[in-house]
Structure 1
Amino acid sequence: MLNKVFIMGRLTRDPELRRTQTGTPVASFSLAVDRDFKDKATGERTTDFIDVVSWRNTAEFVSRYFTKGRMAVVEGRLQMRDWTDKDGNKRTSAEVVADHIYFGDSQRSGDTSNTSGDYGAPEPQQDGFSELA
């Protein structure tokens, strides 16, 4: 079986970083993704708002370097989640569980963050080498 998703869009809000009871980092955010085609009636593109969740190093990376409006490319898998709302109704949600997250735009002016897409690896030292963990 194959469950592989690639989406590219802009963050609709800053990522929310939380930790599980065991301390595992988890970040959630939403991407606004334009469809490839225009609506025949209106001539406009429809935008889908897709929920994304990331874990561990990827969660820390996205919460550190991505903010609302930033373009992101997400590689992951589609997951269906069943839950019960506050009124007791059963609901189902689709979300993308991110394996990898990449920058989809160039570095913004005044942004001095690491833009190499290396999931928060140490910054290179002046001699061009990085410290190994």
Structure 2
Amino acid sequence: MSSLNKVMIIGRLGRDPELKYTQSGAPVCTLNVATDESYTDRDGNRVDRAEWHRVVVFQKAAENCAQYLTKGSLVFVEGSLQTRKWQDQQGQDR
């Protein structure tokens, strides 16, 4: 049995892309993408909700993102989902 790990996100950048380079010189760009949805609650009030996604782009695509995208840009991202876990200073998992 095979599995599928594919994610598609359409949203806007919350800040300018951050381009960095690994020790070997490979470009890596981090994007903060906001997606939003709205719904009507039980009382008939409209509720807007934003979800933030941290997206990491590599190689030439990373350089293109840094060159052509800015805060507020509408982006379509397709890739795989990877969850990371670390411990903060108090030893709590994040």
Matched, 1:4 2:10: no
Q: Whole-Å Cα distance in 2 between the matches of residues 33 and 11 of structure 1?
A: 9
State the Cα distance separating 1:44 from its structure 2 match: 2.2
Cα RMSD after superposing both structures: 1.4
State the Cα distance separating 1:39 from its structure 2 match: 4.2
Matched, 1:28 2:19: no
Which consecutive unaligned segments of at least 5 residues does structure 2 have? none
Q: How many aligned residue pairs are there?
A: 90
Q: Which residue of 2 aligns with 1:63?
A: 66
Q: Which residue of 2 aligns with 1:54?
A: 57
Give TM-score scaled by structure 2 length. 0.86
Over residues 48-95 of structure 1, what are the superposed CA-to-partner deviations in whole Å (9 max), with x where a residue is unaligned? 11111111111111111000001000001110112222333322xxxx
Q: Which residue of 2 aligns with 1:44?
A: 47
Q: Whole-Å Cα distance in 2 between the matches of residues 21 and 71 of structure 1?
A: 31
Larger RCO (alpha carbons 8 Å, 6+ apart) = 2
Give TM-score scaled by structure 1 length. 0.62
Q: Secondary structure at the match of 2:81?
A: strand
Which consecutive unaligned segments of at least 5 residues does structure 1 have? 92-133
Over residues 19-57 of structure 1, what are the superposed CA-to-partner deviations in whole Å (9 max), with x where a residue is unaligned? 11111110101111013x514243123111111111111
Matched, 1:85 2:92: no
